Structure 1
Amino acid sequence: MGSLVRRALKLLLPGLLMALFAPSVAMAASHEVREHFTADLVTESASPAAGLALTVALHITPRPGWHIYWSNPGESGYAPTVAWTMPAGWQAGPLRHPVPSTLVAGGLVSYVHEGDTVLLQDITIPAGATGMVPVKADVDLLICNAGTCVPDPVTLDATIAIGSGQPDAAQARLFAQARTALPAPLQGKASYRADARGVSVFLPGMDAAQKATLFIDTPDAAKPVVDAQARAVEGGMVLTVPAGITPPGGALSGVIRVGDKGFAFTAERTTALPAPASPSSGLAQGFDAGFLVAFATAVLGGLILNLMPCVFPILSLKALALARYGEGNTKARSEALGYSLGTIGTVVALGALLLLLRSGGAAVGWAFQLQNPAIVGVLLLLVTAIAVNLAGVFELPGLSVATSGNKSGFVSAMGTGALAAFIATPCTGPFMAGALGAALVMPPIPALSVMAGLGVGMALPFFLIGFVPALRRFMPRPGNWMVTLRHLLAIPMFATALGLAWIIGRQGGVSAMTMALAAALLLGMGLWWYGARQKAGRHGWPAFGVATASVALALFGVVAEPASAGSPAQADELHSVAFDTARLDQLVAARKPVFLYLTADWCLSCKVNEATSLSAPQVAEAFSKGGVTVMRGDWTRQDPKIAAFLKEHGRAGVPLYMWYPQGGTPQELPQVLTPGLLTALVKA
Structure 2
Amino acid sequence: MDTPAPTRSRPAGLLRRLAAGCAAGALAWSGLTGAQPVRTEHVTAELVARSAGVQPGQSVQIGLRLQHIPHWHTYWRNPGDSGLPTTLGWTLPAGAQAGAIEWPAPKRIPIGPLVNYGYEGDLLLPLRFTAPSDAQPGSTLQLKAEANWLVCNDVCIPESATLNLALPVLAPGASVAPGPLAGRFDAAAAEAPVPLAGWRAELQRAGRDLQLRLVRQQPLQPGEALPPVQVFPYQEQVLEPARHAVYRTADGYAVQMAVAPHAAAVPATLTAIAVAPPATGGATTPWGTPQRSAEFSVAVTEVAALALPAGAVRLDDPLAGGASSQSGGKRDLLGLGAAGSDSAPRTGGGASLGLWAALALALVGGMVLNLMPCVFPVLSIKLLGLTQQGEQPARLRSHALAYSAGVVLSFLALAGLLLALRAAGSAVGWGFQLQEPGVVFALALLFFALGLNLMGVFELGTLLPQGLAGWRAQNPGMDAFGSGVLAVLAASPCTAPFMGAALGFAATQPAPQALAVFGALGLGMAMPYAALVLLPGWRHRLPRPGAWMLRLKQALAFPMFATVVWLVWVLGLQAGIDGAAQALLALLGLAALVWLLGLLRQPTVAARLGAATGMAAMVALLVWSWPSAQPAAAPQGDAATAADGRTAAAGAAWQPYSDAAVSEQLAQGRTVFVDFTAAWCVSCQVNKRLVLTQPAVLADFDKAQVVRMRADWTRRDAEITAALARLGRNGVPVYALLRPGQEPLLLPEILTAGLVRSALAGL
Same fold? TM cut 0.5: yes
Contact 1:189 1:204 in 2 (8 A): no
Work out which of the residue numbers 502, 514, 518 in structure 2 matches 1:435.
502
Q: Matched residues in 2 for 1:489 and 1:590: separation?
A: 53
Q: Could you tell me which residue of structure 1 aligns to residue 753 of structure 2? A: 675
- Structure-1 separation of matches of 2:442 and 2:749: 28
* 8 Å contact kept, 1:338–1:413: yes
2:547 corresponding residue in structure 1: 480
* Preserved contact between residue 370 and residue 525 of structure 2 (Cα < 8 Å): yes
- Secondary structure (helix, strand or coil) at the match of 1:191 reads coil
Q: How does 1:537-552 map to 2 (within 5 A)?
A: 548-549=619-620, 551-552=622-623
- Is 1:504 the counterpart of 2:504? The answer is no
Q: Are the aligned partners of 1:190 and 1:204 in contact in 2 as well (CA < 8 Å)?
A: no
* Aligned counterpart in structure 1 of residue 731 of structure 2, from 648, 653, 660: 653
- What CA distance in whole angstroms lies between the structure 1 residues aligned with 2:354 and 2:704? 45
Map of 2:743 onto structure 1 = 665
| Partner SS state of residue 651, structure 1 | coil
CA contact (8 A) 2:374 2:683 kept: no
User: SS of the counterpart of 1:304?
Assistant: coil
How far apart, CA to CA, are the structure 1 residues paired with 2:731 and 2:540? 40
Q: In the alignment, what sits opposite 2:429?
A: 365
Q: Is residue 389 from structure 1 mapped to residue 453 from structure 2 by the alignment?
A: yes
Matches within 5 A, 1:287-298: 288-298=355-365
Distance 1:427 1:505 in 2: 20
Cα deviation, 1:53-81, whole Å, max 9, x if unaligned, reads: xxxxxxxxxxxxxxxxxxxxxxxxxxxxx
- How far apart, CA to CA, are the structure 1 residues paired with 2:345 and 2:701? 36
Count of equivalent residues: 438
After superposition, the Cα gap between the structure-2 partners of 1:610 and 1:275, relative to the gap in structure 1 and judged at 3 Å, is closer
Q: CA deviation at 1:294?
A: 3.4
d(CA) in 1 for partners of 2:399 and 2:678?
A: 35
Instruction: Give the TM-score of the pair, scaled to structure 2.
Output: 0.51
User: Does the CA contact (< 8 Å) of 2:674 and 2:735 recur in 1?
Assistant: yes
Q: CA deviation at 1:415?
A: 2.1
Cα offset for 1:339? 2.0
Amino acid at match of 2:227: A
In the other structure, the counterpart of 2:520 is: 453
Q: How far apart are the structure 1 equivalents of 2:694 and 2:719?
A: 28
> Which segment drifts farther, 429-438 or 511-520?
429-438
1:190 and 2:227 matched: yes
Q: Is the 8 A contact 2:677 2:733 kept in 1?
A: yes
**What is aligned with 1:308?**
375
Q: Give the SS at the match of 2:456.
A: coil
Question: Matched residue of 2:594: which SS?
Answer: helix
Matching residue of 1:112: none
Are positions 1:633 and 2:711 aligned together?
Answer: yes
CA distance in 2, matches of 1:199, 1:375: 33
Q: Which amino acid aligns with 1:617?
A: P
Segments of 5+ residues of structure 1 without an aligned counterpart are 1-185, 206-230, 253-269, 277-285
Asked if 1:340 corresponds to 2:413, the answer is no
Query: Map of 1:230-629 to 2, 5 A cutoff?
Result: 234=311, 246=323, 271=342, 288-305=355-372, 308-322=375-389, 324=390, 326=391, 328-397=392-461, 409-470=476-537, 472-473=539-540, 475-530=542-597, 548-549=619-620, 551-555=622-626, 557-558=627-628, 560-563=630-633, 570=642, 571=648, 572=650, 575-629=653-707
Contact 1:398/1:408, CA 8 A, preserved across alignment: no
Q: What is the Cα deviation at residue 351 of structure 1?
A: 1.1
Classify 1:511/1:244 alpha carbon distance in 2 versus 1 (closer, same or farther; 3 Å).
closer
Cα distance change of structure 1 residues 312 and 682 upon mapping to structure 2, 3 Å threshold: same
Deviation at 1:504, TM superposition (A): 0.8
For 1:197 and 1:667, the matched residues in 2 are separated by: 23
Residue 371 of structure 2 aligns to a residue whose secondary structure is helix
**Aligned equivalents of 1:505, 1:341: Cα separation in 2:** 34
Asked whether the equivalents of residues 679 and 714 of structure 2 are also in contact (C-alpha less than 8 Å), the reply is: yes
CA distance in 1, matches of 2:420, 2:594: 36
TM-score normalised per structure 1: 0.56
- For residues 269-290 of structure 1, the C-alpha deviation after alignment (integer angstroms, 9 at most, x for no partner) is x9598999xxxxxxxxx98333
What do residues 586-605 of structure 1 show as CA deviations (whole Å, max 9, x unaligned)?
Answer: 21121112111111111111
What is the 5 A alignment of 1:128-167?
none
CA distance in 1, matches of 2:476, 2:367: 27
Question: CA separation in 2, counterparts of 1:519 and 1:395?
Answer: 20
Match of 1:47 in 2: none
Alpha-carbon contact 2:506-2:513 (below 8 Å) kept: yes
1:419 maps to amino acid: L
CA contact (8 A) 1:342 1:418 kept: yes
Contact 2:373 2:682 survives alignment (8 Å): no
Letter in 2 for 1:681: A
Q: Please, which moves more after superposition, 613-622 or 239-248?
A: 239-248
Judging changes above 3 Å, is the alpha-carbon distance between structure 1 residues 339 and 300 closer, same or farther for their aligned structure 2 residues? closer
- State how far apart, in whole Å, the 2-side matches of 1:193 and 1:297 are: 41
- For structure 2, the 5+ residue unaligned runs are 1-222, 232-239, 251-307, 330-340, 348-352, 465-471, 643-647
Structure 1 residues 574, 594: CA separation in 2 closer, same or farther (over 3 Å shift)? farther
Q: Distance in 2 between matches of 1:336 and 1:245?
A: 58
- Identity over the aligned pairs, expressed in percent? 33
Whether contact under 8 Å (1:198, 1:243) holds in the other structure is: no
